[in-house]
Amino acid sequence: MTTHDQSHQRRVAIAGASGYTGVELLRFLVQHPAARVVALTAETHAHQPIGQVFPNLTGFVDLACRPLDAAALAGEAEFVFLALPHKTSMAVAAALIERGVRVLDLSADFRLKDATAYPTWYGFEHTAPALLATAVYGLPELHRDAIASARLVAVPGCYPTSAILGLAPVVAEGLVDPETIVVDSISGVSGAGRRPELPTHYSEVNESLKAYGVARHRHTPEIEQELSRIAGRPVTVTFTPHLAPLTRGILTTITARLTRPERTADLVAVYRDFYRERPFVRVLDEGRLPETKHVLHSNLCDIGLVSDARTGRVVVVSAIDNLAKGASGQAVQCFNLMAGLDERAALWIPGLFP
Amino acid sequence: MTTHDQSHQRRVAIAGASGYTGVELLRFLVQHPAARVVALTAETHAHQPIGQVFPNLTGFVDLACRPLDAAALAGEAEFVFLALPHKTSMAVAAALIERGVRVLDLSADFRLKDATAYPTWYGFEHTAPALLATAVYGLPELHRDAIASARLVAVPGCYPTSAILGLAPVVAEGLVDPETIVVDSISGVSGAGRRPELPTHYSEVNESLKAYGVARHRHTPEIEQELSRIAGRPVTVTFTPHLAPLTRGILTTITARLTRPERTADLVAVYRDFYRERPFVRVLDEGRLPETKHVLHSNLCDIGLVSDARTGRVVVVSAIDNLAKGASGQAVQCFNLMAGLDERAALWIPGLFP
Amino acid sequence: MTTHDQSHQRRVAIAGASGYTGVELLRFLVQHPAARVVALTAETHAHQPIGQVFPNLTGFVDLACRPLDAAALAGEAEFVFLALPHKTSMAVAAALIERGVRVLDLSADFRLKDATAYPTWYGFEHTAPALLATAVYGLPELHRDAIASARLVAVPGCYPTSAILGLAPVVAEGLVDPETIVVDSISGVSGAGRRPELPTHYSEVNESLKAYGVARHRHTPEIEQELSRIAGRPVTVTFTPHLAPLTRGILTTITARLTRPERTADLVAVYRDFYRERPFVRVLDEGRLPETKHVLHSNLCDIGLVSDARTGRVVVVSAIDNLAKGASGQAVQCFNLMAGLDERAALWIPGLFP
Amino acid sequence: MTTHDQSHQRRVAIAGASGYTGVELLRFLVQHPAARVVALTAETHAHQPIGQVFPNLTGFVDLACRPLDAAALAGEAEFVFLALPHKTSMAVAAALIERGVRVLDLSADFRLKDATAYPTWYGFEHTAPALLATAVYGLPELHRDAIASARLVAVPGCYPTSAILGLAPVVAEGLVDPETIVVDSISGVSGAGRRPELPTHYSEVNESLKAYGVARHRHTPEIEQELSRIAGRPVTVTFTPHLAPLTRGILTTITARLTRPERTADLVAVYRDFYRERPFVRVLDEGRLPETKHVLHSNLCDIGLVSDARTGRVVVVSAIDNLAKGASGQAVQCFNLMAGLDERAALWIPGLFP
């Protein structure tokens, strides 16, 4: 309905539009006053209208999916969002950047600065190590300026977003012992993507809880990389992800030993100071804790915390929507910065409750 | 974030803001380019900031709830949304209209034209029968012009919205026998409101299905009233609502005997013709059926149908979000018409999938 | 733990043990005082211990799956439960019966008496039409004696169980017009089986409602066959199945025109009379309606009903657990009858609430 | 159906039968070969048949609830299960024990040995401190013999059951540093009981995740008490409970620093050795982790673990059904021991999957 002045709109494309991060990108971009979606690619649904792939979009996007062709995309789009599987993104990003396109990669392919971490954690050799150095980790609360001028943004994983935002202030201030950090996250099922498999089959997941990837989840090095950077010294975390029966949402509970006694109220003040002028982070009042439902479908991250004098530990809890702030919303936030727009464009909506 | 030109914004208020229709109204209105929320009332949370009642709204609405005072509201707002319990709305609406306010009532108090139906179906005598005649049934797909000029709009119930939209075209065309209509609806739990009670206690509802209100649900006369008006003769329906374990969504399945054989494709054409220029109704292609997830959090109504040659019946299925098109979204759609705005203002978003 | 006297135990086997009806059969049979499971077959998990296929069974069944070999099974088992896909069962059943095994087939392959219905509704030619005549429809509430002496029992589908039990008394008594029956059922997702596919992928199904198979669901002819037999004349139904976000449970709502006015209490009496000495059917008091949670994990079928004087229709609601009374529990009930045991053996447990 | 020899059956009663632990006790006890339920008390449903309070039990228990009268109960029952609120149990237990009844208390009133902990953690003074000394903590895997001869058993909380069973072997062997233990648990909603309140209202809980009771949950001292006893030195834990949208199940993830490097396989061996002859604990093979669905509705506790060489920590995950092994199943297990029966009587069922 909104007939924005098209001359000011950036031309954007999505590669890998048929997954959940794809449909979530479209949800934001079809309403974006300063963006126009010009192309969608998807191998498995090539030549199919996107309204058939995602009937919710019928009437909102009038594009068909097509096979990925980097040269063709580069001819049409100024910005390309890559919602492709890990390992696939590397080459596509390189081809697009070479042609002058600015790239927002939602895969893990450019998140780790250390190329040797890819064989260890992902099981493949990185084929574009030179680009790793130029890629900016797309967490705007930490890297706003670098994102604004980046050619390649590596949009963070969903778990790292919640873990890093939950830990950054106390790590930056040296308030927690970096060898005592335990991160337990609970995620909705949509984080596992749209491909049907037994572990995400409804009757297996519903009414069940489990941990998975214990001691070897791929988001671990990403969390440690950013926290080590903030701390200025190596930070190691034990990260355990869990799956719960809901579609969207990540709740992350962080436990760490305080380096000195701190009252909850003082820690809340530290967080509020750290996130001043970061509109998407809401630090809750003492006595309140986040619930994922309060950020559902939004780009917000809610953080609450408690200082436990009895054990000398702090417990921080953060909540995001894994597909929004944990993926596509964050990508659009990065796009806004790259395009010189208000960070909140198309994203400034409250959590949709209930 | 959006700094709309405030001089063109209508001043609106919500009475009964602490329920689910209240928070859903706010969700739409805080983003509305042509509306400004100036007051919120709620008896049980009087003087509490709305961000405490609904933490999802923190940072988006900076108002406290206050006790309802019609005269005070009339001094501030041009439009008042009443999200009050049945029977409570009557007097408030009368007091506001008397003071020149235009009212959108989300309760049942002005939906039925026949005042004698209230004792029968709702168990109370109507105290403002004169207003019943002037109230317009707020289903924009049927009453667009009357709504535009109305002082009092009775926003339909969630079940009737899905049932009437699903039946209107074939009833209008005389294609179904009006004595053979069976309407079975399945609803999410949020339709029962926010007050904690055993039937909506999580562990009672989750993983369970039930029917309720059989042969006596209060939405029945509303459905029959509108269908009879369309048919020009009395229409009776057997309406059975069901509860399923999800928060939002209504799926309505309508079965009726066709008055003559019709192919599915021809019936689809009848529906498309009927709903031409009704942007929120999407009539699906033959072979497709709606899913509530495709309209989740949106103001859309998806309709699909099948002509069953074997039994001579048509089966129509419609899907809405009960809090959006089934309540608050529809109220905002009515407001848009009353205020002379594009019907889609603040409402033109796709279903949020997944 | 239970050390039943093994000399009195019947030797039973399950073909197709790796699906949900397989694990549900095992749940009942491992606790059965008069049955001993001697073999399990599953092509896809051949040679895998069943405790790996279904970790819940670890410590309860110490058997590995093996490929299906009818001759070998016949050498070990007196009774074989076939939990195989439609069309696969036919040949296996024939081979087993030929070798003197008594067969309980959970597929649709022997449910329809009319062999010509298979091409129409299932898309294949029946290869063992002679066996159709001898197969007994395994609904013990209707066919108890025939089941007891049967060599081949065709265990009913989940929807038909709830629809037929809900309609049998009024159809038998001629209390409803057989041309006016509308059956709307809502099912949990486990009825779709364990194979991962997009329509049963968690994030697609959760928080959504849909109808499917409208006017062509394969359970329709089964319902009509049994009701026509009971009525002594052709009965046609419009049957619409729905999917809701829960694992187990079917709720069926039946609407039909009464042939004469009947009070609810009198209809309740008709049902209670019909189901006297049918321990698994509970006819609820007037004013009560069933909820699937009250029969969850049990072999019970709860039925409630309302006579709607206003429209001259009766609304009957029935609730079962689709995997128990809708499949594996019913199969064990049939087995009990075939083996001359108490019908309730291993099955006499209440619904597991909450 | 089962007509057990009543002369050998123990007469048992349940005080507080109208809650979820009450209905779960009944589920097990109606099938118990050596128990006969002779009385049920419930203040809020006094004089109501239990089949009206819990329709799932219709046909299985033919008793009405009545007001609690300790003297009357003592005249009828040898064993009384107290499913009463905290603080209420104390006096009832004392009155029953005085009259020679053996008591299984499912509240927290006798779990803590230190009477001074009650004001701190529960906010009330203990009125029967003498009984605290004689009460046995009802975790059969640790206290089997003491339970067998106890007059008063304090059945553990749901979280402590999963946490203590998950930690006991490594704490007993001194394999973890007792100052580094972090316990994060996720629970289904039924643990909060049957009283309707906003935090357990369906639309608030569904599709949401939250932590609660951070640094002050009442189950903390219970966990520390038992672990300290096992360790022979003070053990402190940071325990954070979480709520997820499912009815039943607790998954507990424990992270602790190992005192020396240990391979996962060796730790699995330690656990298997510790739980030898403890039939309800299943220690999973290396590489496998528990899911609550595998123990759903059962009295089992599944435990899996991973030694993380990279961080020097062990991660242990345990899964139970909070109403079964976490409450009523465990109470029946204790009853079995007290009555000199096989520990598994009426409890030896697999998890009900899916």
Count up the domains in chain C and report the number: 2
Residue B259 lies in a domain: yes
What size, in residues, is chain A? 354
Residues A27 and A20: their CA atoms lie apart, in Å, by 11
Q: Is residue A44 part of a domain?
A: yes
Give, for all 354 residues of chain C, the pLDDT tens digit: 445 566 689 999 999 999 999 999 999 999 999 999 999 999 988 889 999 999 999 999 999 999 999 999 999 999 999 999 999 999 999 999 999 999 999 999 999 999 999 999 999 999 999 999 999 999 999 999 999 999 999 999 999 999 999 999 999 999 999 999 999 999 999 999 999 999 999 999 999 999 999 999 999 999 999 999 999 999 999 999 999 999 999 999 999 999 999 999 999 999 999 999 999 999 999 999 999 999 999 999 999 999 999 999 999 999 999 999 999 999 999 999 999 999 999 999 999 999
Residues of B in contact with D206 (CB under 8 A): 189, 202, 206, 245-247
Contact residues on chain D for B203, CB-CB shorter than 8 A: 20, 188-190, 194, 200, 247
* Chain D residues in contact with C49 (beta carbon < 8 A): none
| Residues C287 and C247 both lie in one domain | yes
By DSSP bridging, strand A237-243 and strand A181-187 are parallel
The domain of C212 spans 159-322
Q: What is D15-47 written as a DSSP string?
A: ESTTSHHHHHHHHHHTT-TTEEEEEEE-STTTT
In the predicted model, is pLDDT for residue A4 greater than 70? no
| Residues of B annotated as catalytic (active site), given as ranges | 158
pLDDT tens for A276-334 read 999 999 999 999 999 999 999 999 999 999 999 999 999 999 999 999 999 999 999 99
Give the integer Cα–Cα distance in Å for C187 and C158: 9
- Alpha carbon dihedral A169, A173, A174, A175, in 10-degree steps, equals -70
Domain boundary among C69, C101, C134: C134
The pLDDT, as a whole number, for residue D1 is: 47
- Interface size, chain B vs chain D, as Cβ–Cβ contacts under 8 Å: 58
Which B residues in the span 202-221 are in contact with A, Cβ-Cβ below 8 Å? 207
A18 lies in some domain: yes
First to last CA, chain B: 26
My answer on whether D27 and D121 are in the same domain is yes
Question: Do residue D198 and residue B202 have CB atoms under 8 angstroms apart?
Answer: no
Residue D183 and residue D251 in one domain? yes
End-of-domain residue from the set B70, B101, B134: B134
φ and ψ at A180, to 5 degrees? -120, 15
D130 touches D113 (CB < 8 A) = no
Same structural domain, C203 and C279? yes
Which of C203, C238, C249 lies nearest to residue B354, judging by beta carbons? C203
Q: Does D57 touch chain C (CB under 8 A)?
A: yes
CB atoms within 10 A of CB D286: 15
Inter-chain CB proximity C251 and B242 less than 8 Å:
yes
Q: Would residue C54 count as lying in a domain?
A: yes
If we measure between CA atoms, which residue out of C314, C200, C214 comes closest to residue C268? C314
Which residues on chain B are in Cβ contact (under 8 Å) with D188?
A: 203
DSSP state of D9: P
Contacts B351 to A, Cβ<8 Å: 56
The pairing of beta strand C136-137 with beta strand C152-154:
parallel
What residue type is assigned to position B133 of the chain? A
Same structural domain for residues B215 and B80?
no
A246 touches chain D (CB under 8 A): yes
Taking the Cβ of residue D354 and every Cβ of chain A, the question of whether any pair is shorter than 8 Å is answered with yes
- How far, in Å, CA of C173 to CA of C316, rounded? 15
In a domain? residue A143:
no
Please report, for the domain that includes residue B206, its CATH number: 3.30.360.10
B296: closest CA among B324, B317, B330?
B324
Nearest neighbour of C196 by CB, restricted to A188, A197, A206: A197
Structure-token pair, residue D101 = 């009844």
In a domain, D139, yes or no: no
C-alpha to C-alpha distance for A232 and A173, rounded to whole angstroms: 11
Within this chain, do residues A178 and A316 fall inside the same structural domain, yes or no? yes
What pLDDT, on a 0 to 100 scale, did the predictor assign at position C1?
47
Strand D181-187 relative to strand D281-283, pairing: unpaired
- Tell me, yes or no, whether C62 and C175 share the same domain: no
> What's the CATH code of the domain at D65?
3.40.50.720
Q: Are residues C200 and C317 in the same domain?
A: yes
Alpha carbons D79 and B256: distance in angstroms, whole number: 59
Q: Which subunits have 3 or more CB–CB pairs within 8 Å of chain D?
A: A, B, C
Q: Would you say residue A174 has pLDDT above 70?
A: yes
Which among B59, B207, B282 is the nearest to A59, CB-wise? B282
Query: Residue A184 pLDDT > 80, yes or no?
Result: yes
CA B17-B22-B28 angle, 5° bins: 125
Instruction: For chain D, list residues with pLDDT below 50.
Output: 1-2
Encode chain A in three state secondary structure: CCCCCHHHCEEEEEECCCCHHHHHHHHHHCCCCCEEEEEEECCCCCCCEHHHHCHHHCCCCCCEEECCCHHHHHHHCCEEEECCCCCCHHHHHHHHHHCCCEEEECCCCCCCCCCCHHHHHHCCCCCCHHHHHHCEECCHHHHHHHHHCCCEEECCCHHHHHHHHHHHHHHHCCCECCCCEEEEEEECHHHHCCCCCHHHEHHHHCCCCEECCCCCCCCHHHHHHHHHHHHCCCCCEEEEEEECCCCCCEEEEEEEEECCCCCHHHHHHHHHHHCCCCCCEEECCCCCCCEHHHCCCCCCEEEEEEEECCCCEEEEEEEECCCHHHHHHHHHHHHHHHCCCCCCCCCCCCCCCC
Shared domain check, A74 and A196: no
Whether B23 contacts chain A with CB within 8 A: yes
- Nearest CB to D255; choose among A182, A203, A207: A182
Buried b (16+ CB within 10 A) or exposed e, D242-259: bbbbbbbbbbbbbbbbbe
Of C189, C201, C247, which has the smallest distance from its Cβ to A196's Cβ?
Answer: C201
Pair of tokens at residue B50: 């709305």
Query: Is B95 found in the same domain as B36?
Result: yes
| Contacting subunits of A (3+ beta carbon pairs below 8 A) | B, C, D
b/e sequence A235-264, b meaning 16+ C-beta within 10 Å: bbbbbbbbbbbbbbbbbbbbbbbbeeebeb
| Cα–Cα dist B159/D286, whole Å | 52
B207: helix, coil or strand? coil
C195 shares its domain with C313? yes
Distance CA B161, CA B143 (A): 13
Q: Do residues D92 and D178 share a domain? A: no
Q: Let me know if residue C286 belongs to a domain.
A: yes
Per-residue pLDDT reduced to its tens digit, B302-332: 999 999 999 999 999 999 999 999 999 999 9
Closest Cα of chain B to C91: distance in Å?
Answer: 31
Per the CB < 8 A criterion, the answer to whether B335 and B36 are in contact is no
Tell me the average pLDDT across A339-351: 97
Question: Is A261 a member of any domain?
Answer: yes
- One-letter identity of residue C37: V
